[in-house]
Amino acid sequence: MKVKFFAWLLGRGRLNTRAYLHHWKIRALEDSWCVHCPGVLETDIHIFVGCHKAHAVWARLGISMHCDLVQRPWDIGVGVTLPDVLRMNFFLLLLWHLWKARNAMIFYQLDLPPREVLNRVALDLDAWTRRYKKHRLELQVWRDWLATCNPPPSSTLPS
């Protein structure tokens, strides 16, 4: 339910980003910058596309994200050759975890690397296997794809 409500807010441009709070005169302009990108207004587009933290996650997945896709999550990953039945849910979950990573930095000063963001998506996918019993095989294909995009750290390779 949290992801659905998040998607509803995102689709209507109502996430409590710092720019949105500034627009409603809740935050001063100088307090409205991205926590990772000083001097850049923190909009929903910036959080999910423009910020170097989001860009690193999309790059790890091999997906080129564009600004107009943030409010159209059903179009994200159209070129990914995986079962289409769960695509939108997967990418909403990914956007949700990018949002949660942003919140972790703001509220807890916890800077999550792209690998950890994707690990958290994978954990939720594992939990969702109970919810999507009819689509368990398709969900596993998405989970396996995510694992290939986000290999576990190796003792010989830097992460």
Q: Which residue has the higher pLDDT, 73 or 56?
A: 56
Task: State the pLDDT at residue 155.
Answer: 41
- Please state, rounded to an integer, the average pLDDT across all residues of the chain: 90
Task: State the pLDDT at residue 61.
Answer: 93
Q: Tell me the per-residue pLDDT of 133-158, one tens digit each, with 9 for 90 and over.
A: 898 999 999 999 999 998 877 544 44
- Local confidence band at 23 (pLDDT 50, 70, 90 cut-offs): very high
Reference 96, options 144, 132, 44; nearest CA is 44
- Where do we find the tokens 């509220």? 107
Q: Which residue has the higher pLDDT, 40 or 127?
A: 40
Residues 6 or more apart in contact with residue 78 via CB below 8 angstroms: 87
Report, as an integer, the average pLDDT of 61-81: 84
Report, as an integer, the average pLDDT of 19-24: 96
Report, as an integer, the average pLDDT of 50-74: 89
Distance CA 30, CA 22 (A): 9
Specify the pTM: 0.90
Phi, psi (deg, nearest 5) at residue 130 = -75, -35
Q: Tell me the per-residue pLDDT of 112-136, one tens digit each, with 9 for 90 and over.
A: 999 999 999 999 999 888 888 898 9
